[in-house]
Structure 1
Amino acid sequence: MPELDLLATFLEIHRTGSLTAAAARRGLSQPAVSGQLARLERQLGEQLFERTNQGVRATARADTLASQIAPHVDKLRGAFDPADEACLARHGLLRLGGPAELTTLRVLPALVPLTTRGLRLRVQFGLAADLLTALLEERLDLVVSAVRPTQRGLAATPFVDEEFLLVGPPALARTVRAEALAQDPVRALAHLPLVAYAEELPIIRRYWRSAFGRRPPNELAVVVPDLRAVLTAVVAGMGVSVLPRYVAEPALAAGSVELLHEPEVPPLNTGFLATRVGGLADPVVALAYRQLLDRAKLWPTL
């Protein structure tokens, strides 16, 4: 069986189409790369590349060999050299699950440095319970969960804190009297129709209980299962809602919505990065996990 170094050099030649470029990527001299290629061709008993004026052109045998060994060689190189992130990302596949809004607005942009190096992503949106089940059943590799997993076989690390804001369009905000809000906020807000993510009012109910100690008595006007659509409905004047700061911030800055209430202690929800127990032994999962945790350190409370 050819040595790992020979196969790694072969893959760099195949990917770059150049002995010189492969040498630079491998940190070797060009004669050393040429020697390793010649040695591999002798062991296989076949020519892998044809020399051209522009570099080298892979033979059909080289294309077949590269497709067969690339994922395995990259993972082995990453296991022996965890710092070789480009090697891990290239040809790696990550099956990621998370809530649509947080994944779209924060998580996917955070993974761009890996996708530009070749990481392939397959993303699934959904509720935490469904995504964690898919993780347990090995249909996903990494999940951004709005709740801490309790299932045996799963491990989780705190990832981000979401801050919730009660917002409404300016026209409805003007119907809330400041003195009434200070004396009895539940009554002062009770006439405002709600726009919710779900019939059970998961985010709104949490805000009311945290800020006011009770459930909201308000009429539920609109239910739409996407927080960005909730914001759109609020901006249009359909009602008020509770949204994570990272969703509401652009509309607040533009004046399209206004804060209706500012509690002394902002309601927060901690999101988690969840894997199967032992899942970080997969170097591709570990690479994405580290990337997300490192990037989250730069975010303010969401």
Structure 2
Amino acid sequence: MDLALLRTFVTVHRAGSFTRAAALLGLSQPAVTGQIRTLETQLGRPLFLRLARGVRPTTTGEELAHKIAPHVDALLEITEAGIEEVEGTPNRTLHLAGPPEFTGLRALPALTPLIAQGLTVRAAHGTSDELFESLSAGHHDLAITTARPRGRLLTATPLCDEEHVLVAAPRWAARLGGPAVVRDKGVRALEHLPVVEVHETLPLVTRYWAAVFDTEPVASGSVVVPDLRAVLSCVAAGAGIGVLPRYLCADALDTGELVALLDPPVPPLRTYFLVVRTGTLAHPHLARAHEWLLRAAVSW
């Protein structure tokens, strides 16, 4: 049986959709669909149930994945090693770029098992537009961005959603009267408070105000620092209020170092995308890193 068909099957099983599998494999969605149909024809049984969003393996598909996935991974590893030996390029370096906090706290730890297997990583950061440009020019292999690129040169796969939280130190929360007052008074309760942000344009606060209060903030940044971890430290120290990703401030909320000033029914979300140059996932070490990040992001 064709190893390419089995690799496509395993990738679809792990990704949960033909679209995500196509991005992982550097193929078109019709090509992935065609390969799965060919495999189903050869086996004489359906392997996936087609759903409104994605696919779900049948009992046969689940059993097949359990049996063959470790062997497919091992064969691909052998094939990749053999190609590198022939071409004389043993160095498998992944050039990854993205927001420094997200890359450092989530993406790089998720890639640790691959690093232990010999993958080397070089990380950089920048805005989404800067990352699109450097990725297109070949300076990076994978980029994690908060915007979806346009055109066909780059391919983006949704990675995860990030919830934003309006936070302050306990003393600021006490002066406001607690979350109940913020909920009742809305933006009026926050108008004269100092704000800590990552840029003069207040990108996180502006997005939060628009989503929750349907207005724009009137305050300017009292403290502007170029790193969300610095925002966290400044807010916890009492420099002002801030908007932070929940993954970044969850520990501080649990310990009481920070207080969430509001719990909106629909919290503001920001989507991260995993972006590659179209077709580059044909390189096995890039495909593995891409797939590894997508699998890790399920629990993010």
Q: TM-score, normalised on structure 2?
A: 0.70
Give 1:261's aligned residue: 262
Q: Which runs of 5+ in 1 are unaligned?
A: 1-77
Structure 1 segment 1-302 matched on structure 2, within 5 A: 81-82=75-76, 84=78, 87=81, 91-177=91-177, 180-299=181-300
Q: Contact 1:166–1:241 (CA<8 Å) still a contact in 2?
A: yes
Asked if the contact 1:79–1:283 (Cα under 8 Å) also holds between the matched residues in 2, the reply is no
1:85 Cα shift?
8.8
Say whether the 8 Å CA contact 2:182–2:190 is kept in structure 1: yes
- Select the structure of larger CA radius of gyration: 1
Distance 1:253 1:143 in 2: 31
Deviation at 1:212? 0.4
In terms of mean alpha carbon deviation, does 84-93 or 153-162 score higher?
Answer: 84-93
Q: Report how many aligned residue pairs link the two structures.
A: 222
* RMSD of aligned alpha carbons: 2.2
Secondary structure of the residue aligned to 1:161 is: strand
Percent of pairs with identical residues: 42
Q: Deviations over 1:248-267 (max 9, x none)?
A: 11111121110011111011
Q: Is the 8 A contact 1:168 1:240 kept in 2?
A: yes
CA distance in 2, matches of 1:245, 1:281: 35
Q: Report runs of 4+ in structure 1 exceeding 2 Å deviation.
A: 78-91, 177-184
2:39 corresponding residue in structure 1: none
Q: Over residues 239-292 of structure 1, what are the superposed CA-to-partner deviations in whole Å (9 max), with x where a residue is unaligned? A: 110000011111111211100111110110110000011111111110100111
> RCO greater where, 1 or 2, for CA within 8 Å and sep 6 or more?
2
Asked if the contact 1:95/1:142 (under 8 Å) is kept, the reply is: yes
**One-letter code of the match for 2:158?**
P
How far is 1:182 from its partner?
3.2
The answer to whether the Cα contact below 8 Å between 1:143 and 1:273 also exists between their aligned partners in 2 is yes
- How far residue 296 of structure 1 moved from its aligned partner, in angstroms, is 1.1
Q: Within 2, Cα distance between the matches of 1:134 and 1:265?
A: 35
Shift of 1:91: 3.1
Please give the secondary structure, in 1, of the residue aligned with 2:188: helix
- How far did 1:128 drift? 1.3
Change (3 A) 1:246 1:86: farther
Asked if the contact 2:157–2:275 (Cα under 8 Å) also holds between the matched residues in 1, the reply is yes
Matched position secondary structure for 1:225: coil
